[in-house]
Amino acid sequence: GLLAALCALTVWLGDCSSRCAAQPVSSSSTASPTTPPPLSGRALRLHRRNCADSLAALADLRRVKASVRQELVRMERERTKIMQQIRASRIELANLMRNQRKISADTEIARSDLAALQIRLAEADQRNLPVLRLPLNISTLKSASAVDKASEGNCGLVDCFDYARCGLADQRPRFALLYSATDSLTDAARLLNSSRRLLPDSMSTNVAVRDSCLVLADVGSSSKSTLSAVPAATNLVAMLLLPASAASERLRRGLIAERPRAVVASRYQPSGSYRPGWDIVMPAKAPFRSASDLWAALPPLVPARRPRLLAAPLLPGANSSWWRQISDVDRLVLDELQRLCRSDVVDNLTSKLELPALAGATFCPILAPAGAPLSTLGGQRRLLDCLLAGSVPLILGDMLPPFGDLLEPLWRRAIVRLPRSRSSELAWLLATYSDATLLELRRHGRLLLERHLGTWRAQAATLLTLLNRRLGLPGPAAVGPTGSSALLPGHSRLLMGRVPSHFDETQDYLGAVEPPLDSVLFQHNYTAPAPISQLPNPLLNYPSLPGHPPPPPTDAQFNGSAYGYRPINHSMGTGGVEFSRAAGGNLPAEQFTAVVLSYNRESVLVGSLSKLAGLPYLHSVLVVWNGERPPNPSTVWPDLGGVPLHFIRGPGNSLNNRFLPWSQIRTEAVLSLDDDVYMRQDELVLAFRVWREHRDRIVGFPARFHARSGSGWVYDSNQTCEYSMVLTGAAFLHVHYLHLYSYWLPAALRAEVDRLTNCEDILMNFLVSHVTRKAPIKVTSRWTFPCFGCSQSLYKDDSHFFERSHCINYFSGMFGYNTLLYSQFRADSVLFKTRLGTDKVKCFKYV
């Protein structure tokens, strides 16, 4: 203001000075009539004096103006300097407050962890743990008493099995497989040969049979020579797989007379001499050599109801001894079956009907008349034909399915059993089955073929599993491949660049970053054998299964950060801080392994890996390198805060490599990631928490759906109100599904993925939905993956959507039906979009 006033006064004085300087000397001769009269001498002097004073005042004011301007500039500099100091002080204060909050949170976590460790230490001191030593040797079975029991028909594992040869501390091989090389084409030889391929060296041997726990011997036409090679005291499983029931009956009598303690594994099991829990009912001849041939030949499961309600009944020929003694009740049953199926008798019901005829019927009857053997070769063939045709087996009478004591839970879901006396009510009873029930019966029948009956390999694995369950011993461990390093030999050490900590007051506190914690693997060894329905290969002992129930919590679990339980401090709000410190859910705390599939894009991969730095619950990161060349040795990889980073070279450039169960995976949870996916850490932590409560499903982010188009299916990525697939470019799934994808699915499905370089995520969704009959779970509203800096991506190809529609139709044909299930459910955090007071804390701020 002062400067403005000085400027105004200076202007006025300057104007006066100008007027003074411009005042002319008057002359009477030149004066105009309008010109004012000239000043007198005195007035002129006074005027000049005033002008001089004004000029002097003007000069003073100009000097004052310059001085004031300099002072104002100095003061502005001082003000700017003071404002910078204030701004720096505020930033320093904010940093101090942020560090103070972080230190307070870490201190509280450490205090809680210390209290939990003290509680666990006190519990360990009070617990009387036994001293673990090698088990003592088992006493040898007395042969005389065992023979007496066997001769009475009461042979069982307690009385007739010599466990002394199968002790836990015994180093002898578990199985010895004995069959003649000249009879390699017999059913028993094929089965034992497949068994030899399945067993590791530690479980099978070529040495003398007296050094093994259990001998599996082919006692077909050359039973005398085979039995002579087996000592009498040896645990023997006699494989009696002859093409005729009459020959099996004769050899069975002689075998039991000579070796009463032998386990008879045969398709022919008479009702009088069959020993439950000891003898084994065997299936008919395996119809296919490989799983791919089996899957390709199986008919579709839909529609649920077929043109005919019942297929024509099939019985052994009239020359059978017990068929000649068939009762009047059984003849009435046969008449009723013929009436219902509306077909004539075919060659006295002795000819085997073709599979297409069976495929046209909803139910496939199998009649077991009174007095018939519990299992016959014809009955087992008929049962296998029914399953191959996709027709639901309907057993009227007493008939034992193969591997019954092991597969009984599956047989109850795949066949229908009715007493023969209710044959007159068949039409009404069969009409009560709903479409959903029929499809479930048919689906479990297909699972029996795929896993246990359809190939020699499947039958051998099931037989060995049954014997292992009887012995109470686990099978060989199902371990994945150990990938070789993708880095060059001279660059085995990774260059790590620093990455800022994930802690930021503008973001959620997602939890502490802890050292790697392996999941508890191989829990189904001795005390809790896994349910047979969950095992793709029943022989193997899988590291973990997705369906185990949560254990009840203990006091230590309620107070320990190593478990999923935390007390809520209500004085701190709604428990958001405590929620972030524990894994949550009903299971002990655990971590996950990130598997990233990459191909010759180091810069893009560095960006996605940097997003994982400081991520809670992250155990390790596996980069599956599909590129033809090794990663650039000059690449500076981000520092993941102590989390191990492995680079694994995949076996060729295949999208299937992302689902190999690598031995470096030491956790049950697997986060499948693409190298161009940039995810926020709060999204990943929320998805991991959701997966922990739905361990048997795929839990991820972008979702897609399939829609009907004419007689086929099309793939659609539009945003709709329901979905049926979750893309595995960013999804959590159980490690067990990696074993199923890589080693249980037929190779033809994975070959189709390699042919198209597409659809591996669709195939995984098909697999999980087929096994669980549950839809995947979508988390948060994210629908796409924007990739910054990506020059090319597979989905940008014009044929991308056409190929994915083809995959859905191809997979539906191989699985027998479209396994995908729709869902309208999306998972967000509990307090998402909930209005809270300023003194409350949310579980997550933005998801």
Q: Which residues are catalytic?
A: 761
Cα gap 13→65, rounded to integer Å: 14
For 198, 313, 318, 399, 423, the CA distances from 348, given in Å and listed in that order, are 42, 11, 8, 22, 20
* AA identity, residue 658: R
**CA-CA-CA-CA torsion for 502, 507, 508, 513, nearest 10 degrees?**
0
Cα gap 437→120, rounded to integer Å: 49
Residue 204 pairs in a beta bridge with 175
Cα gap 814→457, rounded to integer Å: 20
- Which pairing describes strands 236-240 and 280-281: parallel, antiparallel, or unpaired? unpaired
Residue 156 pairs in a beta bridge with none
> CB count, 10 Å around CB of 686?
24
DSSP-assigned letters across all residues of 372-400? --SB-HHHHHHHHHHHHTTPEEEEEE--P
Which uninterrupted H or E stretch holds 579? helix 576-581
For 158, 239, 250, 252, 273, the CA distances from 257, given in Å and listed in that order, are 20, 16, 11, 8, 12
Residue 197 contacts residue 177 (beta carbons within 8 Å): no
Q: Write down the residue that tokens 């090698």 correspond to.
A: 134
Give the neighbor-by-neighbor strand order of the sheet with 361-368. Answer: 308-310, 361-368, 392-397, 416-418
Rg over alpha carbons for the chain, rounded to the nearest Å, is: 42
Residue 624 contacts residue 654 (beta carbons within 8 Å): no
Cα gap 218→239, rounded to integer Å: 5
What angle in degrees, to the nearest 10, is found between the helix axes of 245-258 and 377-388? 120
Answer left, alpha or beta for residue 397, where phi above 0 means left and psi between -120 and 50 means alpha: left
Closest CA to 766 of 745, 793, 739: 745
Closest CA to 566 of 605, 515, 520, 512: 512
33 by DSSP, 3-state: which? coil
Q: Write down the residue that tokens 């050292």 correspond to.
A: 515
123 by DSSP, 3-state: which? helix
- Which pairing describes strands 712-716 and 703-709: parallel, antiparallel, or unpaired? antiparallel
Give backbone dihedrals phi and psi of 548, rounded to 5 degrees, phi first: -75, 140
Q: How many CA atoms lie within 13 A of 635 on its CB side?
A: 20
Cα gap 695→669, rounded to integer Å: 8
Cα gap 688→847, rounded to integer Å: 13
Give the neighbor-by-neighbor strand order of the sheet with 826-827. Answer: 645-649, 618-625, 592-598, 669-674, 730-734, 699-700, 777-779, 826-827
Q: Write down the residue that tokens 């994210």 correspond to.
A: 782
> CB count, 10 Å around CB of 122?
12
Residue 457 pairs in a beta bridge with none
DSSP-assigned letters across all residues of 175-212? EEEE--GGGTTSHHHHHHHHHHHHS-TTTEESS-GGGS
Cis ω before 409 (30° cut-off from 0)? no
